[in-house]
Chain A
Amino acid sequence: MDMQQQADSGLAGLSFGFLTTLESPAHGLFGGYLVVDALGRPLEFHCTAPVKVSRAQQILYGPTLQGHLHGRQVGGALLAEGKATPAVVLTDSDAMLHVRPHTRLPVALVRRGAAEQASGFAMGAAFVSPHADDAARAEEIEAQLAALAEAVDLCEPFERIRAALDEAARH
């Protein structure tokens, strides 16, 4: 069974998570989590109220701030609200990889184009790097993502999330 056949055989019920943030100068940091089906159509969307970090908090948390803020605060809160169990949660933010200790779901970083010296695999125009904790599942993740990549550019759903977060910020 090749990769495409594997992908097709389990399409029904298969879902994928997309997790990212939007920095609003006026409001703070919004987080968004979109779950889509294998054709890229939305199933769930969760977004946080904005989190604003003070200068003092920046100093206090120091270099741990971004990981704590994105991974534990925002990412953890969003994944906790999800009802679906996606095959993998993709993020386009390094800081968001810190969510991994707070979820059982595999997490991977997606970037446009091939990443030099990064472990992972190319998928269409994107390069996918699974979290170190999920490195052993890279092949499984690749097979499942193949179905989605047939329909959607893997970087595209992040644009949708940001458009929705932008709308939330203006609402």
Chain B
Amino acid sequence: MTGNEQLGNANSPPPVRSFGGAAFRLPQIIVTDGCELALPTPPTLRLPVAMPAPAVTSIAPLPPRPRVQSHFFARPVALPPVAPQPAGGPEVVAEAAAKACRGADRRARVAPPKDVVKLSERFYYLLQPDLQTMLRGGKLTFPRPPFPFQFEGMAFLLPRHSAVLADEMGLGKSMQAISSIRLLVRSGEARRVLVVCPKGLVTNWARELADWAPELLVAVIDGDPGRRRWQWSLPDVPIKLANYEVLVRDRDLVAELGLAFDLVVLDEAQRIKNKSSQTNRAIVSLDRRRSWALTGTPVENSAADLVGIFEFVQPGQINDRMTPKAMAGAVTDHILRRTKDKVLTEMPPRLDRDARIELGPEQRETYRRAEEEGVLRLADMGREATIQHVFELVLRLKQICNFDTATGESAKLERLVAELEEVQASGRKALVFSQWVETLGRLRKELAFCGALEYHGGMSTTARDEAIRRFKESRDHSVLLLSYGAGAVGLNLQFSQYVFLFDRWWNPAVEDQAINRAHRIGAAGAVTVTRFLSAATIEERIDEVLRRKRDLSEAILSQADGPTTAGLTADDMFSLFELAPPRRAAA
């Protein structure tokens, strides 16, 4: 017997080898008759010989150690002890302050700004304790409990080298800035700080610094050149406080002394909105590491205002050619703006009312004659008429709306007297604003019955401070008469319940600033705002134009397209008298 092989091919089943019976040594069968017998066809076993290798899956153990990235931070400097507050003074530790106001559980964290890209630097900010904890750890005290949004404002400022705090007036921008300065100074991150503010607010800032950062020494830069040189040179005073005019005057001196600041803070930063102004140039030339701007009206007249401010905050970040939307995108990480209606739901209400005043017969006649003559004169001038001519006519008409220049009659005054008698009788306080110092003087005489005091740029700083003190402390003075120029910014007069705008300013943002002297944090009750408008006069027409145009600031700050101006333009001025502006007339 022989075996044979059958080989498969590629398409066949696995190769099979056949084996004959001999190969298997099949036992012979011996039958009983003695013959040997072999089976003619032994069984064939078919076994696969090319078995595929079994699949093996390896399960790797977890790697012994994952890769670790390490970051080490400098051990924070020890905080110096805080000088104790005067006995009996209002002192609240941060924790108590935080608990004292609504939403205190909302912790304010210092988030890294977008322009910080290194991971280790971003970790530095992310790993700091929340602001309330930092303040509590430093045992810092506050004269009044801050609101949660004010902690958030500090958390916004602290990590930023370029920041605009654009909170609506009355939300405590100066307090947020001072508290942030305090933290930077006490942590050793800032040793030389310069605060620049309008001249009329220097006293106010000095007082606020003493309230909110009592342990920090402050040098107010003023006096003759020799004294100022000495003040600028003081080495151990961390905070220097100067007004814009002094800074412009001392620009060369600051450069000569080689002064470099860790932080420069501008209050009422709209002062530098004009890029070509001396003030702007003096400010942007300062050697500084951090630049913070405080303003309630970053866009006062046009988008170009913001460009001027950013020349200081972050030069080159925005330019005049950008659309409001593009501008909004470029500044969004640098600007923080909150409005009262968003953050102060418990803020006392502000009641606005327009008082339409009907001029008396004589005053009406004087007004009619002046307008007719003025318009005729402008018409006669034709192409020679300039914006200055129109402006002069508007001013003249507005003055007649206040007081009849011929007879002295004043329908507004009659209404104001009636209102203030009620204010005085109820023991309340009122602010009255006008654009003319002369008007304030006339009002003071007429309002002697309620002890009216004046506050305007024609007075010395000492006299103005004294007026504020008397108005605040004495019940004999229930009315303060203020000019928009001097009284619209920086003053805290939240103990006043009434605001009267005796005449209107050219820009509603300035009016808002004025109103917010009273309607701000700490206001004890509702604030009533009365705008006097002489019926059927230039005042009504101006009001109508301003109402149509007051949305630009919000348009940029809320990242929406909007009109390009909020104040009166030359075209607007001509249109008040239905006159074509010069360029159109020329065409």
Residues of A that sit less than 8 Å from B by CB: 31, 34, 36-37, 39-51, 53-54, 56-57, 60-61, 68-69, 73-74, 76-78, 80-81, 83, 151-153, 156-157, 160-161, 163-164, 167-168, 171
Q: How far is the CA of A148 from the CA of B124 in the complex (A)?
A: 20
CB pair B133 A40 closer than 8 Å: yes
CB pair B75 A43 closer than 8 Å: yes
- Write 22 A-B pairs (CB below 8 A) sorted by A numbering: A37-B76, A39-B138, A40-B129, A41-B76, A42-B73, A45-B71, A45-B123, A46-B71, A47-B69, A49-B68, A57-B60, A57-B62, A73-B63, A74-B66, A77-B65, A80-B65, A81-B70, A83-B72, A151-B136, A151-B137, A168-B119, A171-B119
> B74's closest neighbor in chain A, by CB?
A43
Q: How far is the CA of A106 from the CA of B73 in the complex (A)?
A: 23
CB pair A47 B126 closer than 8 Å: no
CB pair A156 B133 closer than 8 Å: yes
Residues of B within 8 A of A48 (CB): 66-69
> A77's closest neighbor in chain B, by CB?
B65
The listed residue (B59, B69, B75, B128) touching A46 by CB distance below 8 A is B69
> A51's closest neighbor in chain B, by CB?
B66
The listed residue (B62, B73, B133) touching A151 by CB distance below 8 A is B133
A69 CB, min distance to chain B CBs, angstroms: 7
Given A42-B128, A51-B63, A167-B122, list of 8 further CB < 8 A pairs?
A34-B127, A41-B128, A42-B73, A45-B73, A53-B62, A73-B65, A156-B133, A167-B123
The listed residue (A56, A78, A153, A164) touching B59 by CB distance below 8 A is A56
Number of interface residues of B (CB under 8 A): 34
Which 7 residue pairs across A and B have the least CB separation, nearest first? Answer: A39-B137, A42-B127, A49-B67, A48-B66, A151-B137, A40-B129, A77-B65
> A30's closest neighbor in chain B, by CB?
B66
Residues of B contacting A: mostly:
loop
Residues of A within 8 A of B73 (CB): 41-45
Given known contacts A74-B66, A77-B68, A167 and B137 CB-to-CB distance under 8 angstroms: no
CB pair B59 A47 closer than 8 Å: no
Residues of A within 8 A of B69 (CB): 46-49, 168
Given known contacts A44-B73, A167-B119, A168-B119, A73 and B124 CB-to-CB distance under 8 angstroms: no
Judged by a CB distance under 8 angstroms, whether B130 is at the interface is yes
Residues of B within 8 A of A161 (CB): 127
> B124's closest neighbor in chain A, by CB?
A42
B418 CB, min distance to chain A CBs, angstroms: 57
Q: How far is the CA of A78 from the CA of B65 in the complex (A)?
A: 9
Residues of A within 8 A of B109 (CB): 163
Given known contacts A41-B129, A42-B124, A164-B126, A51 and B62 CB-to-CB distance under 8 angstroms: yes
Q: How far is the CA of A65 from the CA of B110 in the complex (A)?
A: 36
Q: How far is the CA of A112 from the CA of B71 in the complex (A)?
A: 28
Given known contacts A43-B75, A81-B68, A167 and B129 CB-to-CB distance under 8 angstroms: no
B326 CB, min distance to chain A CBs, angstroms: 26
Residues of A within 8 A of B128 (CB): 41-42, 160
CB pair A47 B137 closer than 8 Å: no
CB pair A57 B68 closer than 8 Å: no
B239 CB, min distance to chain A CBs, angstroms: 24
Q: How far is the CA of A152 from the CA of B71 in the complex (A)?
A: 21
The listed residue (B64, B65, B71, B126) touching A163 by CB distance below 8 A is B126
Residues of B within 8 A of A40 (CB): 129, 133, 137
A85 CB, min distance to chain B CBs, angstroms: 14
Residues of B within 8 A of A152 (CB): 129, 133, 137
Contact with A along B573-584 (1 / 0, CB 8 A): 000000000000
Interface residues in B92-136 (C-beta closer than 8 Å to A): 107, 109, 119, 122-124, 126-130, 133-134, 136
CB pair B72 A60 closer than 8 Å: no
CB pair A160 B127 closer than 8 Å: yes
Residues of B within 8 A of A44 (CB): 70-73
A72 CB, min distance to chain B CBs, angstroms: 9
Residues of A within 8 A of B76 (CB): 37, 39, 41
Interface residues in B47-62 (C-beta closer than 8 Å to A): 57, 59-62
Residues of A within 8 A of B68 (CB): 46-49, 77-78, 80-81
Q: How far is the CA of A156 from the CA of B109 in the complex (A)?
A: 12
Given known contacts A45-B123, A48-B67, A37 and B62 CB-to-CB distance under 8 angstroms: no
B208 CB, min distance to chain A CBs, angstroms: 27
Residues of B within 8 A of A41 (CB): 73, 76, 128-129, 134, 137
Q: How far is the CA of A53 from the CA of B63 in the complex (A)?
A: 10
Residues of A within 8 A of B64 (CB): 73
> B111's closest neighbor in chain A, by CB?
A163
Most buried by B among A45, A77, A81, A161: A45
Q: How far is the CA of A123 from the CA of B107 in the complex (A)?
A: 20
Q: How far is the CA of A60 from the CA of B62 in the complex (A)?
A: 10
Residues of B within 8 A of A153 (CB): 133
Residues of B within 8 A of A39 (CB): 76, 129, 137-138
Residues of B within 8 A of A49 (CB): 66-69
> A78's closest neighbor in chain B, by CB?
B68
Given known contacts A43-B72, A77-B66, A152-B133, A60 and B123 CB-to-CB distance under 8 angstroms: no
B63 CB, min distance to chain A CBs, angstroms: 8
Residues of B within 8 A of A168 (CB): 69, 119
CB pair A167 B126 closer than 8 Å: yes
Q: How far is the CA of A156 from the CA of B68 in the complex (A)?
A: 23
Most buried by B among A42, A46, A60: A42
